Amino acid sequence: MSEAHATAADTGTPESTRVRHGKLVSQVITLAHGGGGKAMRDLIDDVFISAFDNPALNTLEDQARFQLSDLARLGDRLALTTDSYVIDPVFFPGGDIGKLSICGTVNDLAVGGATPLYLTCGMIIEEGMPVETLRKIVASMASTARQAGVQIVTGDTKVVERGSCDKIFINTAGVGVIKQDYQLGAHLAQPGDVILVNGFLGDHGAAILNARGDMNLSSPVESDCAPLQGLIQAVLTAAPGTRFIRDATRGGIASVLNEIAQSSKVAIEIEESRTPLRKEVKGFCEILGLDPLYLANEGKIVVVVPEAEQDAALSAMRAHEFGEEATSIGQVLTGGVAGRVHMQTGFGGKRIVDMLVGEQLPRIC
């Protein structure tokens, strides 16, 4: 089998290069599907390869192979990242673990200025999972990967006994290439810079907490899970002086802001009245006594840009489907206490916005 000449542009080629077409007959995943025999081959062929279908994967080698010259055309540095996805429930309003596992890794690459290209997919599946469920998750990974312009080029599957994992755990690692001019870092924020976000905060956290059902609330809020490479490239093109971008996942924007303040040794002030929140997320937080600044997002980034590039960055974001509600929420102060983030409250007071200690629990009494 010749080496794959895979580039991002190959995604979705109509001519498949698949060489093997095993069919999976069983309805339920059993330990046999992780055993290395025919059952496992059929699972890989029929569920994974058929969905992910791309030249590098279709070679079925133990590793995906890339032409360095192809990569070098896109930039001067490689970016590599990995993340594991465990989520309860596996399917939630606005997404599922499959979509999440692609978006998360794509976004982790993209916020560094990289063009995401290739992902790996490692799965640990609990025996007893219906094959239909697995197909749904894999299909969601495949379509999200297409949307993000990346290929899933190698993978691994393990099946574990009931109780050894919670339905399914997915790990994806990703490789991307960073363009010559991009220099982003949490330590680069400077006094006068402005802090931007690309839309409503806390949707993912509120959707997941609600989907678990413990609180018996009915809420229309959906996860904001989305691949942001396009939006981020648009920002970087419009505002080449951008200092730093980070996706505000667990710990919410509060954690990202604290990281910037600490790494750059600056003080940051945000304004409560400018933080974009859906009415329902506000309501959700009021009922449960939660602070939306700490709720997780899966499709939101914090962007630090020099003030002069604020308008350019904002209009680039607003022109993109995942940035329509983009807005500036605060700035890096001149002076102030380095490493601190505070918020001008909507009521006219000020308070410190600290890192979260542990998990945010509903506050009831």
Partner 1 sequence: MCLGIPGKIVHIVDHELQLGMVDVGGIQREVNLSCVAEDDQKLESYLDEWVLVHVGFAMSVIDEDEAQATLGVLNELGEMQEELTAMREGAS
Partner 2 sequence: MKYVDEFRDPEKAKILINEIEALAETLHSRWQRPIRIMEVCGGHTHSIFRYGIENLLPESIELIHGPGCPVCVLPMGRVDDCVQIAERPEVIFTTFGDAMRVPGSKKSLLEAKANGADVRMVYSPMDALSLARKNPDREVVFFGLGFETTMPSTALTILQAEAEGITNFSLFCNHITIIPTVKAVLDSPDMQLDGFLGPGHVSMVIGNDPYAFIATHYHKPVVVAGFEPLDILQSLWMVLKQLESDEAKIENQYSRIVPEGGNDVALQAIGKVFRLREFFEWRGLGSIDHSGVQLTDAYLAYDAETKFNVKSIAVADPKSCQCGEVLKGVIKPWDCKVFGKACTPETPMGALMVSSEGACAAYYQYGDLKKLNVRLEVEEEVAVA
In the numeric block, the tokens 């939306």 are attached to: 292
Q: Pick the piece of the chain touching partner 1 (CB under 8 A) from 80-88, 146-154, 173-181, 215-223.
A: 215-223
Q: Which is nearer to partner 1, 21 or 282 (CB)?
A: 282
Return the residue of 217, 230, 274, 327 that touches partner 2, per CB under 8 A: 217
Instruction: Check residue 333 for interaction with partner 2 (CB under 8 A).
Output: yes
Residue 254 CB partners (closer than 8 Å, separation 6+):
291, 293, 294, 341, 353, 354, 355, 356
Amino acid 106 reads V
Report the site for partner 2 in 270-289 (rule: CB under 8 A).
279, 282-283, 286-289
Part in contact with partner 2 (CB under 8 A); list of ranges 30-38, 75-83, 230-238, 335-343: 335-343
Dihedral class, residue 203 (left if φ above 0, else alpha if ψ from -120 to 50, else beta):
alpha
State how far the Cα of 172 lies from the Cα of 118, in Å rounded to an integer. 10
Which residue, 163 or 220, has its beta carbon nearer to partner 1? 220
Q: How far is the CB of 22 from partner 2 (least distance, A)?
A: 40
SS (H, E, C) 89-132: CCEECCEEHHHHHHHHHHHHHHCCCEEEEEEEEEEEEECCCEHH
The rounded distance, in Å, linking the Cα atoms of 141 and 120 is 11
Q: Does 351 bind partner 2 (CB under 8 A)?
A: yes
Residue with tokens 């506050």: 363
Q: 201 and 223 in contact (C-beta within 8 Å)?
A: no
Binding characters for partner 2, 233-272, by CB under 8 A (x = yes): ----------------------------------x-----
CA–CA separation, 235 and 321 (whole Å): 13
Task: Tell which residue, 320, 283, 322, 118, has the closest CA to residue 200.
Answer: 322
- For partner 1, the binding residue among 61, 132, 286, 324 (CB under 8 A) is 286
Q: If binding is defined by CB under 8 A, does position 163 make contact with partner 2?
A: no
Among the candidate windows 1-9, 52-60, 168-176, 273-281, which touches partner 1 by CB under 8 A? 273-281
For residue 280, the partner it binds in partner 2, partner 1, none, with Cβ less than 5 to 8 A by kind, is: partner 1
- Residue 345: CB atoms within 10 A of its CB come to 12
| Encoded tokens for 53 | 């279908």
364 belongs to the binding site for partner 2 (CB under 8 A)? yes
Under rule CB under 8 A, residue 346 binds partner 1: no
Of the residues 69, 279, 348, 358, which one makes contact with partner 1 according to CB under 8 A: 279
**Which amino acid, residue 209?**
L
What residues line the site for partner 1 (CB under 8 A)? Answer: 215-220, 278-280, 282-284, 286-287, 289, 363-365
What residues line the site for partner 2 (CB under 8 A)? Answer: 214-217, 267, 279, 282-283, 286-289, 291, 333-337, 340, 342-343, 345-352, 354, 357-358, 361-365
